[in-house]
Amino acid sequence: MLVTGFDIIFFWVARMIMFGIKFMDDVPFKEIYIHGLVRDSHGKKMSKSKGNVIDPLDMVNKYSADILRFTLAISAAQGRDIRMSTEKLELNRNFTNKLYNATKYLQMNVDTFPDMAGFCVETDLGRYMMSRLNQATLEVRQNLEEYKFNDAATVLYRFIWNEFCGWGIELSKAEKSSVVELGAIFKEAMKLTHPFMPFISEFLYQELSDTKLEDVES
């Protein structure tokens, strides 16, 4: 598979295909993912002379690699350029805050949570949230297989923000017996989050499991 921008399809992609057929009697790749270009918030090409360049390293230092990565993923609609802005990064920083707040709430009630493997979900709320996680997992996987990265990120965002935090956590305040189950489900959701935000998802998963990264590495 080749990942490339649309602006070099003829100059690079087509020539590699022709050379592969000419000299190797085969095409060099079976699939091509053509992504858009990252432009400024007005849709203009970034240029030092225009002063509209957004340095990714500056954004990583200010917001984090996870936030920049997730912002690019959720903005990467097929066939469209990405309009990058600090406003989008700010919005997705709110998402990371949501993940932290969910973890803090869960740990206010229980320190650590079991792995989902071999764990039985018994409460009505737990079963409902598990069904929603299963549906989100199915949709995320399907979208990733079809290279619809923005759709996959959007499904994940909506599940965690709207369903898990908006409904699951709020309802658990009146049904404390479901908190352990929600913690186990949230850990599974961190696995689903990992391709998009690998650092915070790993950190929160280990926090909820009461294991440190150095312990895992050793």
**Per mean pLDDT, which range of 46-55, 112-121, 163-172, 201-210 is the poorest?**
46-55
pLDDT of 212: 62
CA distances from 42 to 78, 83, 145, 150 (A): 19, 7, 31, 20
pLDDT of 11: 83
pLDDT of 83: 87
Complete DSSP assignment for 51-78: T----HHHHHHHH-HHHHHHHHHHH--T
Q: Which residue has the higher pLDDT, 9 or 138?
A: 138
Residue that the structure tokens 């079976």 belong to: 30
Distance CA 99, CA 206 (A): 13
pLDDT of 216: 44
Strand, coil or helix: 175: coil
Q: How do beta strands 2-5 and 82-83 pair?
A: unpaired
Strand, coil or helix: 15: helix
Q: What would the two tokens of residue 64 be? A: 């984090």
Instruction: Kindly report, residue by residue over 136-164, the tens digit of the pLDDT.
Output: 999 999 999 999 999 999 999 999 999 99
pLDDT of 206: 94
| 214 band by pLDDT with thresholds 50, 70 and 90 | low
Instruction: Kindly report, residue by residue over 86-145, the tens digit of the pLDDT.
Output: 899 999 999 999 999 999 999 998 989 999 988 999 999 999 999 999 999 999 999 999
pLDDT of 7: 80
pLDDT of 81: 85
pLDDT of 217: 43
pLDDT of 213: 57
